[in-house]
């Protein structure tokens, strides 16, 4: 079964990044792909955690790859 081993700590994906510079680069890339800021409130982690930004990235990069009944606006 895939997943963390029993008792292992699950780390937040952005907290594991090496630097704020890498987080900024990621945010800039997402903004370039989507044409708008992925974190209008300044919290990239929360924006990614909701899944909406990730779904919009998938749909932008590969149109039609998500089920049509998912509202990603």
* pLDDT tens for each residue of the chain, 73 residues long: 444 555 555 555 555 555 778 888 888 999 999 998 888 777 888 888 888 899 889 989 988 888 765 565 5
pLDDT at 32: 92
Closest by CA to 44, choosing from 30, 57, 61, 56, is 30
pLDDT at 52: 87
| Length of the chain counted residue by residue | 73
Q: Which pair of structure tokens corresponds to residue 64?
A: 């039609």
d(CA 50, CA 64): 20
The residue written with tokens 């590969």 in the block is: 62
What residues have CB less than 8 Å from 5, skipping those under 6 apart? none
pTM higher than 0.75: no
Q: Which phi and psi (to 5°) does residue 42 adopt?
A: 85, 10
pLDDT at 2: 44
pLDDT at 1: 40
């Amino acid at each position: 079964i895939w997943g963390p081993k029993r008792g292992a700590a699950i780390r937040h994906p952005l907290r594991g990044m090496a630097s704020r510079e890498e987080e900024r680069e990621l945010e800039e890339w997402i903004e370039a792909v989507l044409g708008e800021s992925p974190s209008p409130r300044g919290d990239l982690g929360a924006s990614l955690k909701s899944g909406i930004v990730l779904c919009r990235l998938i749909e932008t990069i590969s149109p039609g790859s998500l089920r049509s009944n998912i509202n990603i606006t």
